[in-house]
Amino acid sequence: MAGRKFIGGVHPDYSKELARGAAIEEMPLPGRLVVHFTQNLGAPPEPIVKKGDAVKKGQVIAEAKGFVSAPVHAPTSGMVTSIDVYPHPVGTDLPAAVIEPDGADEWAEGLNGERDVSGLDGQAVKQYILEAGLVGMGGAAFPTHVKLSPPENKTIDLLVVNGAECEPYLTADHRLMLAHPAEILDGAALFARVLNVKRIVVGIEKNKPDAIEAMRKAAAGREGLEVAALDVIYPQGAEKQLIYALTRRRVPAGGLPMDVGVLVQNVGTAFAANEAVRWCRPLISRVVTVTGSGIDRPGNVLARVGTTFQDLVAFCGGLAVDTGKVISGGPMMGVAQYSLEASVTKGTSGIVLLRQDEIPQYVSDACVRCGRCVRVCPMTLKPSALSIFIEKMDFEQAAEYNVNDCIECGCCAYVCPSLRPMVHHFRRAKAELRKAARKAG
Amino acid sequence: MLTAVIALAALALLASFGLAIAARIFAVKVDPKAEAIEDALPGANCGACGLPGCSELAKRIAEGKADIDACPVGGESVAREIAGIMGQSYEGGGARMVAMVMCNGNDQAAVKRFYYNGIYDCTSAALLFGGDKACSYGCLGLGTCAGICPFGAIDMLPSGLARVNPDRCTGCTKCVGACPKGIIRMVPAGSTVHILCSSHDKGGKVRKICSVGCIGCQRCVKEAPEGAITMDTNLAVVNYETGIPAEVAEVCPMGTIVVQGAGAVEPAEQRAAGGEG
């Protein structure tokens, strides 16, 4: 069979063997949870609890504000002891509620019961997904119900379930596919029901043969379901690249997958959808890979949303003496953290801890125009030219060269012989362009 | 030899006639007023007026589409000159305004949370947890404002702060928009007493992370004349219309209020920064 891949891409050192063999372990309730109110892309939800409030597990603590927003639920029962600004793993300090668990872990009324899903229509399923606060769990945290609401003039004929997990080190999706293949497919079927889609493809990279087998076994006998093995190349799991690899359809610049009739959902999101709709459990926990040479016992942990990195690290045996870097997410796209006070959000797929000798301190140089970044860019941009424009503060020119289409995968920075901080440049340009757009009204 | 000289002279004559005729036919009509105004303008093409350059502004003023004092850089003297060209009268605007970085938390005074080794630029640094300073309102000291200043009026102090030189500042406000922290404020050029802090954090937090930050104790508010200092969520803000007397600085327990020319900027440090570039 011909390889299923896209244009560009790199082959980083995957280092998945560290946590690949560790089955998902449920973490006991920590002594304190820091639950961020902002857990989705788009409009931040509106907090509705205050200091001193008692909350039940699954109770809404922040309501969705506007359409592109998702509610946040209390991950356990207990008391809100304070509301303050805490480091958020995406790289900002944002308000969060500190919840001290009472140990009872008592569900709020009407939750955690089986619901008969056979008779539900698409609208009802979508409503349950919205109420459960589902967001994309691959890392971007885009509200799921928004993705499930394509405009009238767009028809979707294919649902892609993303199990590529191309980011090095991370194995959370891999272990989830091994542990709950049937539930993931049930969740995918719910998405398909909302969109009235007949065909579902699960895309998994070939470096996870056991996951492919498990999913194929679970898919046997289900109609319209296919499990596709994908070539191992980064960023295979990026939405647009995955669609191209599977269908050869190209999402237009600035467009969305729905423009080519495809919807992509992460396996974790599919699993959460089944939990939400079938079992009435809002999204309050997720699988987080804690890995890297800087941790004593790498593993895949089922942690409550709001678990601090400190507690997660302690659960996994603690830090190595010379741990020098903590990254939320994978090493290619993740964000370096300055404090273990940061806590797990709905979009936190892993924490990578690296030792001092693995993180060279380098000085970047001028672009030598070797063009390696151009060759590997999966969005076929010209990172070299872009970074030069941005260094000269010519953001308009950068916009003309489509800096806004950059998916920040980091391939260009990975191959750059001058060690240029490409993605940081592009993020700066995007920030400046947003600022200019705001100013222009 | 002679033929060559004659031939070339003839050619030159022919070409000059051609050019003279072309200059008549293809002449671009320029309003002499616009030309005179452009000469009067500073010619920095800084864009502070909101237009692409000085010649564009000159054209607009000549056409009456822009005010005679539309150039914030030139200030009163240029406005007067333009008024003369346009045959209008100019009553004079307000005081000359200069930019001021409202932060005094240098590397010794303010706590840093982590070591940042990314792109040497404030906007880039601010993308990661708002920068390395524990204070989310503090000057990051990476010189984005100094880089954008068309007049070289901003010095980067070795202690990690940006300082505007009021003599060189023309008040174009480019730095105000460039600062990712939004802590550059326009103040009257003559004012000497300033509250150099922009932090809206509560006093307890400020004390932990900065030794010269405003803790919102309001002592200065009581000491200063009525309405000269107002509180804006835990931060004392000077009302520059009235200004504040230098004595107020003495009551500030944190030393946030500084009197310029008396320790606001260490002279040796400023000289070092100026000497470097």
What is the band of A203 on the pLDDT scale with cuts at 50, 70, 90? very high
pLDDT of A14-55, one tens digit each? 999 999 999 999 999 999 999 999 999 989 999 999 999 999
pLDDT of B151-204, one tens digit each? 899 999 999 999 999 988 988 888 998 999 999 999 998 888 999 999 999 999
| Residue in B114, B129, B148 nearest the CB of A93 | B129
Q: Quick check: helix, strand or coil at residue B146?
A: helix
Between residues 143 and 162 of chain B, which touch chain A (CB distance below 8 Å)? Answer: 147-148
Could you tell me where the DSSP H helices lie in B152-230?
174-178, 203-209, 219-223
Q: Give yes or no for residue B266 having a pLDDT over 70.
A: no
State percent of chain A over pLDDT 90: 85
What is the band of B267 on the pLDDT scale with cuts at 50, 70, 90? very low
| Residue in A338, A361, A427 nearest the CB of B129 | A338
Q: Give yes or no for residue B41 having a pLDDT over 50.
A: yes
What is the band of A4 on the pLDDT scale with cuts at 50, 70, 90? confident
Q: Quick check: helix, strand or coil at residue B110?
A: strand
What is the count of residue pairs from A and B with beta carbons less than 8 Å apart? Answer: 37
**Topology adopted by domain B31-93:** 3-methyladenine DNA Glycosylase II; Chain A, domain 3 (1.10.15)
- Cβ distance A335 to B128 less than 8 Å, yes or no, reads yes
Closest to A81 (Cα-Cα) out of A67, A96, A62: A96
Alpha carbon A181 to its chain's center: 19
- Across the range A401-422, mean pLDDT stands at 95
User: For residues A83 and A95, what is the distance between their CA atoms, to the nearest angstrom?
Assistant: 7
- Across the range A146-152, mean pLDDT stands at 91
pLDDT score of B94: 67
Angle, CA of B36, B37 and B42, to the nearest 5°: 115
Q: Is A168 left (phi over 0), alpha (psi -120 to 50) or beta?
A: beta
Burial of A193 (0-12, 13-18, 19+ CB in 10 A): middle
Cβ contacts of A393 on chain B, cutoff 8 Å: 147-148
Residue A302, token pair as written in the block? 């089922």
Domain locations in chain B? 31-93, 97-276
pLDDT score of A3: 66
- Measured between its terminal Cα atoms, the distance across chain A in Å is 51
- Across the range A300-318, mean pLDDT stands at 95
| Residue in B113, B121, B148 nearest the CB of A338 | B113
Low-confidence winner among A292-301, A310-319, B24-33 (lowest mean pLDDT): B24-33
What is the band of B92 on the pLDDT scale with cuts at 50, 70, 90? low
Q: How many CB atoms lie within 10 A of CB A196?
A: 10
Angle, CA of B230, B233 and B239, to the nearest 5°: 20
B128 in contact with A, Cβ within 8 Å: yes
Low-confidence winner among A163-167, B34-38, B70-74 (lowest mean pLDDT): B70-74
- Cβ distance B114 to A338 less than 8 Å, yes or no, reads yes
Residue A314: phi and psi, rounded to 5, are -65, -40
Q: Mean pLDDT, chain B, as a whole number?
A: 87
Could you tell me where the DSSP H helices lie in chain B?
2-25, 32-40, 54-63, 75-86, 122-126, 144-148, 174-178, 203-209, 219-223, 248-251, 267-276
What is the ipTM score, two decimals? 0.84
pLDDT score of A152: 87
pLDDT score of B79: 87
- Cβ distance B128 to A93 less than 8 Å, yes or no, reads no
Buried-state track B133-161, b at ≥16 Cβ within 10 A, e below 16:
bbbbbbbbbbbbbbebbbbebbbbbebbb
Between residues 93 and 122 of chain A, which touch chain B (CB distance below 8 Å)? Answer: 93
User: For residues B197 and B93, what is the distance between their CA atoms, to the nearest angstrom?
Assistant: 28
User: For residues B239 and B225, what is the distance between their CA atoms, to the nearest angstrom?
Assistant: 11
pLDDT score of B261: 65
pLDDT score of B70: 83
pLDDT score of B277: 35
Q: Give yes or no for residue B35 having a pLDDT over 60.
A: yes
- Across the range A321-347, mean pLDDT stands at 93
Best residue in A365, A393, A426, A434 for a mutation probing chain B (most B CBs within 10 Å): A393
Angle, CA of A158, A164 and A170, to the nearest 5°: 145
User: For residues B175 and B195, what is the distance between their CA atoms, to the nearest angstrom?
Assistant: 19
- Across the range B18-30, mean pLDDT stands at 89
What distance in Å separates residue B265's CA from the closest CA in chain A? 30
Sign of CA dihedral B155, B161, B164, B165: negative
Q: A298 preceded by cis ω (within 30°)? A: no
Cβ contacts of A439 on chain B, cutoff 8 Å: 177
What is the band of B270 on the pLDDT scale with cuts at 50, 70, 90? very low
What is the band of A334 on the pLDDT scale with cuts at 50, 70, 90? very high
A432 in contact with B, Cβ within 8 Å: yes
What is the band of A197 on the pLDDT scale with cuts at 50, 70, 90? very high
- Across the range B231-244, mean pLDDT stands at 90
What distance in Å separates residue B99's CA from the closest CA in chain A? 20
A155 in contact with B, Cβ within 8 Å: no
User: For residues B174 and A393, what is the distance between their CA atoms, to the nearest angstrom?
Assistant: 14
Contact call for residues A125 and A190 (beta carbons, < 8 A): yes
Domains of chain A listed by start with CATH number: 24-99+282-357 (3.10.20.600), 116-279 (3.40.50.11540), 372-440 (no CATH)
Residue A41, token pair as written in the block? 């892309």
What distance in Å separates residue B150's CA from the closest CA in chain A? 14
Closest to A33 (Cα-Cα) out of A94, A91, A77: A77
pLDDT score of B216: 93
Q: Give yes or no for residue B135 having a pLDDT over 90.
A: yes
Cβ contacts of B136 on chain A, cutoff 8 Å: 93
